Structures are given as structure tokens and as C-alpha cells.
């Protein structure tokens, strides 16, 4: 099994894999189906599949880059696990969260922190206009994005000082991009694809993986991809 057809760029692979996924998973493209899923799953997310509480070593590599006056834009905060880790280190938080069900869980969890509720933009990242921040952060929120090259360029242009992206690696926590070409199956981890697309864009970045032991005892790698625009 190869990572991609030899003539295909990582950005083209991402789009082609997205179009293949649409054929078998209605959530990938249909916003209403995605919201239906989170209506049932969001209330139990932190019990079944939290990531943020187990990333202390990785986040220790992030915090030194932050400033108390920073404005953070978080794309896809989910139930707020990472947002709560950022809150003591920065000045202001803005969220991009299209799911009403996820934001309801976020708001419920946030009430326990004592911090002011962040401003929220209820849109998909691809639809957000004129966003600006000192720091942009996003974790495992890329699976419904069709054009990752365009999305990454937008992140690069949005952040003044730093972009941090977190992507889980390996099943069952994160399935790879996959497509069939000439009767051969090709797979590529999303984290690797993101790094390769950044290379296409000429964006110098750091790619580092951290072993993370999850709540169920399973250990897998999580990639931290970051750069200064």
C-alpha cells in the first residue's frame, strides 16, 4: 500500500479522498447529518473520547509561545478541553464552532471554569470571513474540510504570531485519508498530509509527534504542527 499515487500532490489527494468519503459517510458533506450526530454524541464526548486531559507533555511545548495579552482563535473547540488549558495563558478567546450541540456542551463545561464565556462564531472555518488573531489553534477539526490547502492558507493569513494544529494519528482515534486508484488502495495520515500541504504552500513549520495514553489505556501518536506566519 502506497501513501498516494505518484503524480498526485498532497492537496489533490486530500480533495480526492474527501470526495470518496462523501460517497460512504453522509456526515462529511451534509451539515444537518453532522449536527444530528453531535446531538446524540456531544453529551457523552468527554466521558468516552477526551484528548485534551492527556496531552500535558505536548501542551508544555505550546505554552512558552503564548503571551498574556494574546487573542486566541480556536477552530472547532468541541466541548472545550483544549480551550480550558489555554485560558490561564492568554487574554482573549474567540471560537469558531458550527455545531450548536457541541457549543451547548462547551458552555455547560465552561461555567465551571470561572472565566468569561468566549465569543463564538457559529460557522464552518471555510465560511468565516475577516478573522484575525494573534494565535490560531485547532485540534482534530479537519475531517469535513474539502480543500485543506485553502483552509491552511486562510489560517496562515489569520494568525499574526503563531498557528498550532493538533491531529491524532492512527485508528481508532483518527482514520487516514484513503482513495482507490487503478484498483489499488492508497492511505495517508491526515497529519502527514497537512505537513505536506504546508510544504506545497512554502510554509516552514515544525512537525512533532507525542505518544498519548488515552482514557481507555490505548496509546497512540498525536501530531503537533506549528509555525510562525
Tell which residue, 191, 176, 200, 188, has the closest CA to residue 226.
191
* Structural domain that includes position 64: 10-227
Indicate whether 143 belongs to any domain. yes
Tell which residue, 112, 132, 3, has the closest CA to residue 70.
132
| Polymer length of the chain | 229
pLDDT of res. 2 = 53
Output phi, psi for 180, to 5 deg.
-110, 135
Query: For the chain, how many structural domains are there in total?
Result: 1
pLDDT of res. 130 = 86
Cβ–Cβ under 8 Å, residues 119 and 128? no
DSSP 183: T
Distance between CA atoms of residues 129 and 115, nearest Å: 26
pLDDT of res. 4 = 57
This prediction's pTM? 0.94
CATH (domain of 144):
3.40.50.150
pLDDT of res. 5 = 59
Indicate whether 221 belongs to any domain. yes
The C-alpha cell 486566541 sits at 72
Q: Low-confidence residues of the chain, pLDDT below 70?
A: 1-6
Amino acid at each position: 500500500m502506497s501513501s498516494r499515487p505518484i503524480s498526485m500532490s498532497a492537496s489533490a489527494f486530500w480533495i480526492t479522498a474527501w470526495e470518496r468519503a462523501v460517497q460512504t459517510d453522509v456526515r462529511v458533506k451534509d451539515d444537518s447529518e453532522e449536527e444530528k450526530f453531535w446531538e446524540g454524541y456531544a453529551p457523552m464526548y468527554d466521558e468516552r473520547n477526551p484528548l485534551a486531559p492527556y496531552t500535558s507533555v505536548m501542551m508544555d511545548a505550546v505554552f512558552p509561545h503564548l503571551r498574556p495579552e494574546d487573542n486566541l482563535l480556536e477552530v472547532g473547540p468541541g466541548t472545550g478541553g483544549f480551550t480550558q488549558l489555554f485560558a490561564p495563558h492568554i487574554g482573549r478567546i474567540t471560537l469558531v464552532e458550527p455545531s450548536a450541540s457541541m457549543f451547548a456542551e462547551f458552555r455547560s463545561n465552561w461555567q465551571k471554569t470561572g472565566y468569561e464565556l468566549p465569543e463564538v462564531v457559529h460557522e464552518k472555518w471555510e465560511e468565516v470571513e475577516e478573522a484575525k488573531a494573534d494565535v490560531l489553534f485547532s485540534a482534530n477539526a479537519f475531517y469535513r474540510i474539502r480543500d485543506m490547502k485553502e483552509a491552511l492558507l486562510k489560517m496562515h493569513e489569520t494568525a499574526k504570531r503563531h498557528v498550532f494544529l493538533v491531529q491524532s494519528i492512527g485508528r481508532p482515534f483518527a482514520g487516514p485519508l484513503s482513495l482507490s486508484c487503478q484498483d489499488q488502495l492508497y492511505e495517508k495520515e491526515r497529519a502527514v498530509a497537512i505537513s505536506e500541504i504546508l510544504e506545497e504552500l512554502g510554509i516552514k513549520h515544525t512537525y512533532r509527534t507525542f505518544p498519548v495514553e488515552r482514557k481507555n489505556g490505548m496509546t497512540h501518536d498525536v501530531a503537533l504542527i506549528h509555525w510562525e506566519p
